[in-house]
């Protein structure tokens, strides 16, 4: 059993939008719908759980997205709290066979083939894994004054994307442990790493961008438009 989790309780303050960034339109429809569309296409995903703000009324009366069950829970102030709440609300989430696949609502350009590769690869790995991209640029380490302190070897450096897929029970335990230690978790893999585990890196396309700043919206629209061209 695989449930997709989409944390969508944030305000997206850095995007400069009047509405939470996940609901800002891209090519005429809310950005979050692109994530829901690609997740709902995969036959191995059993359902989608949205973690939304307590006052979010946009989803009233909606119980399916395309052909997948769509359920909701109230998210938290931080991403990791939303993901943990979602895991706790997943049907049969405590089953030994339950997996969760967490995807950012602000990554509208996920390719189906990357999603499929992750599910096939991470699902066969005992820890799980994440989509990621190899670092191609030269990477500098700087100090507080923006002075170069060294050049990092890039051969083993990766940029973490989503989705990230793990056994539900393992990820729940990892997030609970991080919260107990008061550690801020920016992605699910880092929570697993804190338990001494090594998730699998699954290479994905670099156009799986995260929309964060105002300029990112135009870039995402350009990528989506280019894909729709014959």
- Cα-Cα-Cα-Cα torsion 144, 190, 82, 77, nearest 10 degrees, comes to -20
Rounded-to-integer distance, Cα 121 and Cα 123, Å: 5
- Is the pLDDT assigned to residue 133 strictly greater than 90? yes
Predicted TM-score (pTM) of this structure: 0.92
What residues have CB less than 8 Å from 215, skipping those under 6 apart? Answer: none
Rounded-to-integer distance, Cα 61 and Cα 89, Å: 18
Write the pLDDT tens digit of every residue in 15-46. 445 778 899 999 999 999 999 999 999 999 99
Exposed e or buried b for every residue in 176-205, given b needs 16+ CB within 10 A?
eebbeeeeebebbbbbbeeeeeebbbbebe
Residue pair 76/32 in contact (Cβ under 8 Å)? The answer is no
- Other Cβ atoms closer than 10 A to 142: 10
Q: What is the pLDDT of residue 93?
A: 63
- Is the pLDDT assigned to residue 107 strictly greater than 70? yes
What residues have CB less than 8 Å from 125, skipping those under 6 apart? Answer: 199, 200
Among residues 39, 44, 47, 43, which one has the least CA distance to residue 92?
47
Write the pLDDT tens digit of every residue in 65-97. 998 999 999 999 899 999 999 999 998 766 778
| Angle 224-206-161 from CA coordinates, rounded to 5° | 100
Rounded-to-integer distance, Cα 182 and Cα 159, Å: 24
Write the pLDDT tens digit of every residue in 203-222. 999 999 999 898 999 999 99
> Which residue segments constitute the domains of the chain, with CATH numbers given?
2-228 (3.90.550.10)
Rounded-to-integer distance, Cα 33 and Cα 21, Å: 12
Question: Bigger pLDDT: 196 or 230?
Answer: 196
- Is the pLDDT assigned to residue 12 strictly greater than 70? no
Q: What is the DSSP letter of 95?
A: S
What residues have CB less than 8 Å from 169, skipping those under 6 apart? Answer: 93, 94, 96, 98
Peptide bond before 163: cis, by omega within 30 degrees of 0? yes
Residue pair 10/211 in contact (Cβ under 8 Å)? The answer is no
Least confident among 11-20, 130-139, 180-189: 11-20
């Amino acid at each position: 059993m695989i449930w997709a989790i989409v944390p969508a309780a944030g305000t997206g303050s850095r995007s400069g939008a009047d509405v939470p960034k996940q609901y800002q339109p891209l090519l005429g429809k809310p950005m979050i719908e692109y994530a829901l569309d690609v997740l709902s296409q995969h036959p191995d995903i059993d359902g989608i759980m949205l973690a939304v703000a307590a006052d979010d009324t946009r989803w009233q009366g909606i119980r399916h997205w395309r052909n997948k069950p769509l359920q909701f829970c109230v998210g938290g102030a931080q991403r990791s709290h939303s993901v943990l709440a979602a895991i706790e609300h997943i049907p049969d989430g405590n089953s030994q066979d339950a997996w969760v696949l967490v995807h950012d609502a602000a990554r509208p350009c996920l390719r189906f083939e990357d999603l499929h590769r992750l599910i096939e690869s991470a699902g066969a790995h005992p820890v799980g894994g994440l989509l990621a991209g190899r670092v191609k640029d030269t990477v500098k380490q700087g100090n507080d004054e923006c002075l170069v302190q060294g050049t990092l070897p890039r051969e083993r450096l990766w940029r973490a994307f989503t989705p990230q897929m793990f056994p539900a029970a393992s990820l729940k335990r990892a997030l609970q442990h991080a919260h107990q230690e008061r550690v801020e978790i920016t992605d699910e893999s880092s929570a697993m790493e804190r338990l001494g585990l090594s998730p699998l890196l699954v290479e994905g396309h670099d156009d799986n961008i995260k929309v964060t700043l105002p300029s990112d919206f135009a870039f995402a629209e350009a990528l989506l438009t280019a894909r729709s061209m014959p």
